[in-house]
Structure 1
């Protein structure tokens, strides 16, 4: 057997090894958005929380796990390699858009706005909100910059202590909420969007966690960690990643289930909040009071800061790799300043403007993840990718236009495009109109692949016979 087909470590990994990889996966995926969006989903879905939760778990738990497996199976070194079958230009644009989305445009600024909105803002007078966010985010990203610049491990070491404390605080709130629920979920009101389409709206809400995009961007970290344990072949690497991923995502999924349920129960005591940050603050104050709020402020700030350091460093490293004329430190300055500026638009604005880009990127991400996982069956043939992604792009662009805030989506041209979309694309009203074009593209691409393979096989046979 070829050495490349055997693992450096042929022995089965221990449970401790699996827990190490699982904790790495948990740290990769669990951040600021993972707290606020499921809680808000519960408030939006009310009595229909269970159906909405199932949809949410597909995009917020299953899809991120599949994204890491896609990186492992294709032996990718990052998100660029996932898009490489479509050519270097597409791969580069896709990489830039993914990193911009989970980085300075939306994901990284959210670490500051969530920690301020959930942790610090409730302790300040209402008229200090804007000035407080300005000062807090400036200090927040200055600290993130300093730690990332020196590539220090201080914060990650502190995070190993304080992040578990944050989870412990969360578990205490969960225990109190289960022991003494605010109300019965069956009696809570359901917003209009969740009256009949709770599953699909929950599915779309899962986009906001951005974890599938994060899995594509940072999945190589997990794959590398598994390789360092001696599982070097793609098959065994994917197997270990899957087992560890199931452990990590099962814990995240359990947290989501409880958060969504609690979100639905809060409607018995509080009005529907504009975002999950306010709802989370109300929840902690209800069960733990002022002391709990102070503890929450400290723990969530450190947790979010740990995430921010990882995001700004990853952004700078990946952009320096693909644009080497600009140094790592210059890219670091850029992403920290850009994240600071974006953060000061506030959490609601960030969410409103991130939604259109997520509606564009997630269909691409989903089809590329699935194509990557099944790529061994069609030898990663580019024509399968091209047809599938090209037809997906049409619906994804239309969904992006429809998801823009009213300043764009309510213009005459956007309304005209939306009318055409609703008339001719199935599932457009659910925001899922990319499914049929993607499936059609996959069928066309696979048909062309297998037909060309058959022709090639026949040609080889004829050539062999002619030489006999």
Structure 2
């Protein structure tokens, strides 16, 4: 008889998935979005949930529905070369180049740097990031212990501290009073789009493709090996985790909007959160925020380096899990020491290139009951989507690269593309690719018959 998860195991895995997803970026970006949206915080929250909750949920469901063991399997109908390219580039951005280094630098900039003399800031970052990644490596070394470390210990501590902040802000101080949900329709629509694009920064749609393999590995440890039962379990765990995360996002965005009663708009969410905590709890708030950020970032770092090591270890078994775990941890540590500003500066174009491709692959995975692994539909959709993805990358290059004449010319020419100016130009390309793929496939089938 096929084994099924107990309620306790479902909760443990949902807690694990939440802990893997919810890093410091998931704390600071909603806060900042709430501040810049002000009275339009609710439509901004809807847009944010679309890209930071619905897309990640769709990515995990796509893995589950296609019964894929990794994002390589999901992208495989496009072609082996593309699947390998997408797997390596996505994991490189998550576990090596952007997300993992960012977990250490955000923790340092929020919780440690305020106490370090400016002339020792770089030395402080080096020492802190070294300790941080040693801890992440040790907690990730034994895959069998991930559910215990993240799902049963670190994540519950994080939730307790976060709940304390919400109780102080909303129940004791009543700062939700007076917040409106809507203003005029024009600002509502622009706030929704802004919220959607801001959700990219969490990187959760990409992380969902990576963390799916971690949850699948955890299910194997629980004895869930039947592909159909495993797919159901992944879907249930994802709904539990992402549903809870969506509630927290709404509260964080509302907290950012409510903070405008006593703060001006901050430069970033990290600064805003520090000021909010100082307002509510004084100096003690700095310690609470430091602990909150450390727990959020450590659990996410564990998830990022683990999912990369599991996925690439499965793809390249001769090297194995521990080789990729070691290499990724060392690489993330080295990149973290370039500093948070540099990581954010160069991460934006990478994200805006990867996200359209990820969305196209996720949609194709969800459509599998109708299109199967049809290579024509997959290739036409993904390769057409790659056009705006490349253009968005060029459009968001750092100034030192954006001023190169060829990039300036491409950027000026691309302004005629619908939705290019707001970063959603991939939508018509992806839809056209799907329709064109269906038409070509149907034409080929008709000729064959």
Q: Please report the TM-score for the alignment, with normalisation by the length of structure 2.
A: 0.89
Shift of 1:434: 0.7
Moved more, 90-99 or 303-312: 303-312
1:280-299 → structure 2 map (5 Å cutoff): 280-299=273-292
Instruction: Give the structure 2 partner of residue 134 of structure 1.
Output: 126
CA distance in 2, matches of 1:264, 1:207: 20
- Whether 1:77 and 2:69 are equivalent positions in the alignment is yes
DSSP-derived class of the 2:48 partner: helix
CA deviation string 1:363-399 (max 9, x = no partner) = 0111100100111211220100011011101011001
CA distance in 1, matches of 2:147, 2:108: 19
Please, which of 428, 432, 437 is the counterpart of residue 440 of structure 1? 432
DSSP-derived class of the 2:2 partner: coil
Q: Based on CA coordinates, which of the two structures has the bigger radius of gyration?
A: 1
Change (3 A) 1:394 1:16: same
Moved more, 151-160 or 59-68: 151-160
* Long gaps (5+) in structure 2: none
Moved more, 447-456 or 224-233: 224-233
Change (3 A) 1:453 1:257: same
Change (3 A) 1:223 1:157: closer
CA distance in 1, matches of 2:153, 2:329: 25
Shift of 1:287: 1.4
Instruction: Give the structure 1 partner of residue 209 of structure 2.
Output: 216
CA distance in 1, matches of 2:363, 2:210: 16
Note if contact 1:385-1:445 (Cα within 8 Å) is conserved in structure 2. yes
Change (3 A) 1:157 1:220: closer
Please, which of 7, 32, 44 is the counterpart of residue 40 of structure 1? 32
DSSP-derived class of the 1:61 partner: helix
CA distance in 2, matches of 1:325, 1:232: 26
Instruction: Give the structure 2 partner of residue 4 of structure 1.
Output: none
* Long gaps (5+) in structure 1: 1-6, 459-468
CA distance in 2, matches of 1:413, 1:146: 46
The two structures, once aligned, show a CA RMSD in angstroms of 2.9
Instruction: Give the structure 1 partner of residue 382 of structure 2.
Output: 389
CA distance in 2, matches of 1:360, 1:158: 31
CA deviation string 1:235-267 (max 9, x = no partner) = x54444333322211110011001111112223
- Whether 1:342 and 2:339 are equivalent positions in the alignment is no
Shift of 1:315: 2.3
CA distance in 2, matches of 1:65, 1:392: 21
Shift of 1:82: 1.2
CA deviation string 1:427-451 (max 9, x = no partner) = 1111000111111110011122233
Instruction: Give the structure 1 partner of residue 237 of structure 2.
Output: 244
Shift of 1:185: 7.3
Note if contact 2:12-2:151 (Cα within 8 Å) is conserved in structure 1. no
Number of equivalent positions: 444
- Whether 1:122 and 2:114 are equivalent positions in the alignment is yes
- Whether 1:8 and 2:2 are equivalent positions in the alignment is yes
- Whether 1:410 and 2:384 are equivalent positions in the alignment is no
Instruction: Give the structure 2 partner of residue 107 of structure 1.
Output: 99
DSSP-derived class of the 2:282 partner: helix
Note if contact 2:415-2:421 (Cα within 8 Å) is conserved in structure 1. yes
Q: Please report the TM-score for the alignment, with normalisation by the length of structure 1.
A: 0.86
Instruction: Give the structure 2 partner of residue 462 of structure 1.
Output: none
CA distance in 1, matches of 2:133, 2:304: 11
Change (3 A) 1:447 1:223: farther
Instruction: Give the structure 2 partner of residue 60 of structure 1.
Output: 52
CA deviation string 1:106-128 (max 9, x = no partner) = 11111111221222223334544
Change (3 A) 1:158 1:239: closer
Note if contact 1:275-1:348 (Cα within 8 Å) is conserved in structure 2. no
Shift of 1:226: 5.2
Shift of 1:38: 0.9
CA distance in 1, matches of 2:24, 2:248: 13
